[in-house]
Amino acid sequence: MIEDKSLRSFLQGLTVSLDPVERFRLAVGEPDPWQQTLLRTDPRLNEADRMVLALCGRQSGKSTSAGGLGYDDFSMGKTVILTAPSLRQSTELFRRILEFKNTDPFCPPIVRQTQTELEAHPSHGGRIIVVPATDQARGMTADTIIADEACFLEDDALTAFFPMRRETGRIFLLSTPNLREGFFYDTWTSNKQVRRITARSIDIPRRAAQVAFDKATMSDTTFRREHLCEFVGGGTPLISWETLDKTSNPNVNALELT
């Protein structure tokens, strides 16, 4: 047991600066396994981590995870752009950022803080800009780009952020499922070299009570989308996707009538 408070604070700060999972524990609490995987993605070890897609169930900690990713890179002197479909969601993202800032023993000196921006002293270089995807954000350059609810962004609005990434930078797309279309869905179901992480609410013990309530009150389609992370439509199909999948066989050639 270290009795010296200054030494203990120094070691705690050193630990969180080296491990984003420890930073998450300090600010929020114990991260779920999928959050640990997300926070420890590293393109230096795995090239697929240049672009990370996280498909998340409702209330799985998606926005908090985005805040942890953003602040951790900020603390290392990087420029981070966070975006979401609306100003309200973007502002909520920034509130998550402040949770990590306010618990950081070694927070860099801040020279600018607004409702959507955090900038450290030039000697440090860290900067966070939070903008709704409807804004004209062209012209910025960032080490890290994080999009919350990426499935609900128009493709043009989402992909407009990608050229802002520095060559060594990273892109994180986090979202609950939407329809079977759009950049997120197409990339998720493709064979592109990206990291895919799934966080189903039904697999997270702390969400058990809410999941049970929603299962009893939601339609089957909504429950599958919100908690099982399935890409389904808003209505009830005449024939389910599972039935169609079972009746198709890619190894059998189509009939040819001559």
The confidence score (pLDDT) of residue 138 equals 67
Mean pLDDT calculated for residue range 177-189 = 94
Mean pLDDT calculated for residue range 13-32 = 82
Q: Tokens at residue 245, please?
A: 């999948």
- Which tens digit of pLDDT belongs to each residue from 201-232? 999 999 999 999 999 999 999 999 999 999 98
Residue 8 has pLDDT above 60, yes or no: no
Residue 164 has pLDDT above 80, yes or no: yes
Q: Write down the architecture of domain 12-205 according to CATH.
A: 3-Layer(aba) Sandwich (3.40)
DSSP assignment string, 191-206: --S-EEEEE-GGG-GG
DSSP assignment string, 147-170: EETGGGS-HHHHHTTGGGEEEEEE
In the chain, alpha helices (H): 5-18, 20-27, 33-39, 62-75, 87-101, 155-159, 183-188, 208-217, 220-226, 241-247
| Residue 134 one-letter amino acid | T
Residue 234 has pLDDT above 50, yes or no: yes
Average of per-residue pLDDT values in the chain: 86
The confidence score (pLDDT) of residue 133 equals 82
- Which tens digit of pLDDT belongs to each residue from 94-149? 899 999 999 998 899 999 998 889 999 989 999 999 888 865 666 789 999 999 99
Who wins on pLDDT, 50 or 133? 50
* 233 phi, psi to nearest 5 deg: -80, -175
